[in-house]
Structures are given as C-alpha cells and as structure tokens.
A and B are shown apart, each in its own frame.
Chain A
Amino acid sequence: MASAASVRARRLRAALTYANLTPFVFFALFPFYFMFVTSFKRNAELYNLKAVPFWIQTGAITDHYDFLFRRTEFLIWMKNSLIVSVIAMSISLVIAILAGYSLARLRYRGVGSFGTAVFITYLVPPTLLFLPLSQVVNWLGLSDSIWALVVTYPTFLVPFSTWLLMGYFRTVPREVEECALVDGASRLQTLLRIVLPMAVPGVVCAALFGFTLCWNEFIYALTFVSQSGNKTAVVGVTADLIRGDIYYWGSLMAGAVLASVPIVVIYVWFLDYYVSGLTAGAVKG
C-alpha cells in the first residue's frame, strides 16, 4: 500500500512539474510559431479581424516567400551574412586561441593584467562604442561595405572566445604539455598538435557562438552599412522589408523566419555545445 501511495505521490509531483513548465515553454515558443503561421497566411486572412489568428483557415500560400526572392535582395543579404560571419568568426577564433592559451598557460610578467583587460572588454557593450567605431570605419575606407563588419565584429568575439577557451585550456593536464616540450617539440608545435586537439570541444563551442553572435548582430550592421545590397540578413529584413503601406506583415515574417533558419539548424545540431558554452562562458568566468 505504502509503495502504491508513493507512486501516486511521485506521479502527482511529475504532473505538477509539467503543468508548471507548460507556460514557460508556451511563452518561449509561441512567438516563433506565430511568425511561422503568419508567413503562410493570405493577406485577406491576415487582415481580417474576425479570423482566428492561431492557425491558417483559408489555405497556406507561399506568396510572401516568393516576394522575398523575386522582389527583394534577400538572397544577397543572406550571402553577406554568411561571408561576414564565417570570416569574422575564423579570424577571431585564431586570435582567441593564441591569446587564450597564452593567458591560461604561460607565465610572464603582466599576464594577470592582460587577462583582466580581456575580461573588461568582454563586458563592454557594443552600444557604448558604435558612434566612434563608425568614424574609425570611415577612416579605414570601409564604410558602407561588409568589410566594416568583418573588421569590427572581432571586438566582441575575441574577448568572449578568449575567455571561453581559457577555461578549456586549463583542463588540459600540464604534464602532457611538459612531455611534449621535453621530447623536443617547440612551444608552437605543442600548442597546435597536443593542446589544441584536446580542447576541440572548446574550439567548436567558440566557433558556434562566434558564428551565432555575428549572424545576430544588429547595431553595428545597422550603423555601418546603408546600401541595401551590402546589408546583412538581420538588418535587411528589419530595415528594408518595411514599406510605406501597411500590408507587409506576411513578407516581414517570412524574412524573419528564413533568416533565422541557419541559426536554428546549427542550434538543433549542436544543442549540447550551446548549453555547455553558455554556462562555461558565464559561470566559469
């Protein structure tokens, strides 16, 4: 009897947990569902106050997506985002691997202050520096091009990735490194052939976050680029799809959905890396 009662108590508890989790999951996912549904609705249904907004009643259409591909520079924006994200992420990753290893493992004068400096820049919000950076970009002759973003994105990627990688480098046992050095490997060889392979999860993590942060970046991309053909996907959709008339919601939602797809795909594929990177970056730091 006692065990039957405890089973019932456990079931009740589980039911309560799910009941409590449901509003959170609904809150988190509903906006995405709603954007998705909206992007397939006919305008007549979209702007009908009597229609139930939660699902599609008069048949799904792809007109809003057609509009994106035929009448806007959506594909160019996506291409720009891809180029900027991949290049900025790769450059930052190389710089951060070197810096992270140096800060985590080597002993020399000033290493502590360098670590602090990197940490401080990690906390500097982009919104503090976008005005002077827009001038720097001008002086470099990069204004209104995607290269303005390739140059400036490492300012937030490098501190973040360095900090993240430092945690991973610290987990590599010192003895392994010392063995390699005693065997006559140079320090650079030790880093590249011994330490780096052991920190691969950290590198993957930094690459994923780097790509995501670049793809999602908004204020620099909005400020430094004004020509439509040079915009990134996020800015192109938010700035260029809003036209004079009010009937643009369908294509706007279609753009938002499609421009999120690369991130969703990577996210679903590497979910565990995201979770561990998020907690490593914030908590270990």
Chain B
Amino acid sequence: MAVSQRALEAAGLGGGRGRLERLRQWREQEHVFGYGLILPALVLLTCLVAYPFGMAIYFSLSDYWVGSPGQFVGLTNYREILGNDVFRQTVQNSFVFTGFALTLKTLLGVWLAVLLARDVRFKRVLRGAVLLPWVIPTALSTLGWWWMFDSLYSVVNWTAIRLGLISAPGPNWLGQTNYAMAAVIIVNVWRGLPFFAITVLAGLMSIPREFYEAAEVDGASSRQRFWHVTLPLLKPVLAVVILFSTIFTFSDFNIVQILTRGGPVNTTHLFATLAYQIGLQGGNLGQGAAISLFLFPMLAMVVFLQLRYIRRD
C-alpha cells in the first residue's frame, strides 16, 4: 500500500492518495466495517437457508417431481397429506417419540448431572466417558445398536434370556411395533443424554455454595435442598436445554432411518424420514416438502420461546 501511494505521488497523482485516504476513512467507520464483516454470513444464510426455505414453501404448493418442475396446485399437497393414514401415524409417532425421549433425557440428565457434580475421583474421565455417545457420529453408533437389536442375535435378548427376565426367543425389537418405538427412543436418549447432563452440570456448578450452606444451616435435608435450592436455580438452564432438544428430537432423522426406516408398518416414521421416503425415494418433491414443513410450527414455537427467554435475560 505504502509503495503504491509513493508511486502515485511520484506520478503526480496526489488526488489518488486523497481518494485512498477517503476510502480508508470510509471503511473505518463503525457501521461500514460492521456491515462489511457480517455480509458474507448474511449472503450465505440468505442463499442457502432463507431461499431454500422459500423454495420449500413453493414446492409444497406445486406438483413438483424430481426432474419435472410442476405447476402451482394450491393446498392440494397438504390436503392429500392430511387425509393420508401414514402421515397421521407419523404425527402421532413424532409426539410419542419426542415426549418420551425428552422426558427421559430430562430426568436422567438431571440425575446424572447431580451425580457428576459430587466430589468423585476420576471426574474428567467420567465426564469424558459419559459425553462420548454425543460426539461419535450418530449414524455409526446407531449401526452398533442395530446389531444389538438384531432379530436373531440381539445381545439385549441374549442377556435378558440368560438372566431369566424373558423367555426365548425374546422380542424382535425392530420388527414389532411397540418394541421398535421403544428401541428408537432408547437410542435417542442414549445419544442425547450427555448433552443434557453436561449442560445441566454446568448450571449446577454456577450455583453458589453459600446457598446450600444457608439451606443446611436452616436444617434442610438433602432432598429439600434439591427441590428448593437446586431445581429453581436450574430452571433457566433446563428451559434452554429442553427447548433446544425439542426441535432436534422432533426433527430427528439418523436414528430412525438406520434402525427401522420408519417400519414396521410406518409406526416409527418421523416427519424427516417420511419426507425423505416420499420426496427423495418416491420423487414427489412437492409432498415431501409439505411434510418437512410440518416441522416448522414446532421450530417457530421454540424460536419464539427461546428469543423471549434471551430478551428477558
């Protein structure tokens, strides 16, 4: 830069220097610099999130098939979907799946966090071990669960039979309706529990010790301390984690796609797996997009609550 300025001056182009200086001053302004820095992110998110979202809405209102852009058909796709038994089953599945998985993750997560917060040895190793299911690629660890739930060689059944808990041959986990739902819920809890436990643990650590000491002086039992000190103070952290997990449990794809592909007889289909089956494998992009847009109300609700929560902070 310095060289070019000197070159410009030597060439008698003093005005050029002034222009460069003015450019420098212009971009040093806080708002210009601020917009400049955020621009790449905004362009990316507009082109690859907002625009596709608009496209999804357009697809859902047209009879768009893979390779043949269709015509505008209004709400036909939605009407067809809502009249479809498989879709109704999917709605029910999604709520059952999310409801059970979230409840279990919350209860077990708080319990695990309380245990990890105690003064134990090997704290770091324990935390590392507990967090592992959340870090390993879900699709790959679900393959392990698939093998553990195998119809013939299931290690779960093998153990339960040897312990005398069930009689041979045991349930076909991924082939019987209620068992299949239980299996996908178990794997989702297994994968999501670390996230709950570690974040709640961080929340626990931020509670000042004095609160507990004061409660102890007042003669509160450990159970009372948990209900009247720990839990109320954990509420903000729990709210964020639960909201966050709601949207990502509701929109889950990997676990169901690998374990059951929505079966048996569609009893484990979630919105994402059904949208994949109809929109991609079936080629009906219009209906597929309409199905995945049913995730939107849940997303909107979570966004609304999260934002309200952040603003209140």
Contacts and interface: CB of A to CB of B under 8 A. Distances in A.
Contact of B136 (A32, A119, A278): A32
A203 interface: no
A6 interface: no
Most chain B C-beta atoms within 10 Å of own C-beta, residue among A98, A222, A263, A283 = A283
B52 interface: yes
Interface residues of A, number: 95
B124 A271 contact: yes
B34 A106 contact: yes
A24 to B, nearest CB: 5
B34 A132 contact: no
Given A154-B48, A268-B128, A279-B202, A31 B56 contact: no
Interface residues of B, number: 98
B125 to A, nearest CB: 9
Contact of A234 (B45, B139, B288): B139
Interface in A24-53: 24-25, 27-29, 31-32, 34-35, 38, 46-47, 49, 53
A245 B271 CA distance: 30
Contacts of A268: 128
Interface stretch (B8-16, B36-44, B71-79, B225-233): B36-44
B129 A25 contact: yes
B253 interface: yes
B139 A235 contact: yes
Interface stretch (B81-89, B209-217, B274-282): B274-282
Contacts of A125: 247-248, 250-251, 272, 295, 299
B158 A53 contact: yes
A238 B258 contact: yes
B51 A136 contact: yes
A259 interface: yes
A224 to B, nearest CB: 10
A131 B280 contact: yes
B45 A121 contact: yes
B137 A263 contact: yes
B91 interface: no
B139 A99 contact: no
Majority DSSP secondary structure for residues of B touching A: helix
Contacts of A187: 27-28, 30, 33
A223 interface: yes
Contacts of B241: 282-283
B223 interface: no
B199 A279 contact: yes
Given A128-B292, A131-B292, A267 B28 contact: no
Interface stretch (B95-103, B144-152, B174-182): B144-152
A128 B299 CA distance: 10
Contact of A49 (B35, B153, B279): B153
A107 B38 CA distance: 12
Given A49-B153, A106-B33, A218-B138, A123 B44 contact: no
Nearest to A116: B307
A123 B251 contact: no
B120 A99 contact: no
A102 B42 CA distance: 12
A34 B153 CA distance: 13
Nearest to A159: B45
Interface in B271-303: 271-272, 275-276, 279-280, 285, 288-289, 292-293, 295-296, 299, 302-303
Given A103-B38, A158-B45, A252-B143, A20 B247 contact: no
Contact of A155 (B31, B48, B144, B193): B48
Interface string A95-132: 11011011100111101001011111101110111111
Interface in B242-262: 244, 247-248, 250-254, 257-258
B41 A98 contact: yes
B112 A24 contact: yes
Contacts of B51: 136
Contacts of B108: 24
B106 to A, nearest CB: 14
Contact of A260 (B124, B137, B251): B137
A90 B118 CA distance: 39
B145 A128 contact: no
A282 B190 contact: no
19 contacts: A17-B118, A24-B115, A28-B190, A31-B144, A32-B141, A123-B299, A127-B272, A130-B292, A136-B55, A155-B44, A155-B45, A155-B49, A216-B137, A238-B140, A260-B140, A272-B124, A275-B198, A279-B202, A283-B199
5 tightest Cβ-Cβ pairs between the two chains A and B: A108-B31, A125-B251, A127-B272, A106-B34, A99-B41
Given A95-B40, A264-B135, A278-B134, 13 more contacts: A25-B126, A28-B190, A31-B148, A32-B132, A98-B41, A107-B31, A119-B310, A123-B299, A125-B247, A128-B53, A132-B52, A154-B44, A283-B241
Interface of B: 24, 27-28, 30-31, 33-35, 37-38, 40-42, 44-45, 48-49, 51-53, 55-56, 59, 108, 111-112, 115-116, 118-120, 124, 126-141, 143-145, 147-148, 150, 152-153, 155, 158, 190, 193-195, 198-199, 202-203, 237, 240-241, 244, 247-248, 250-254, 257-258, 271-272, 275-276, 279-280, 285, 288-289, 292-293, 295-296, 299, 302-303, 306-307, 310
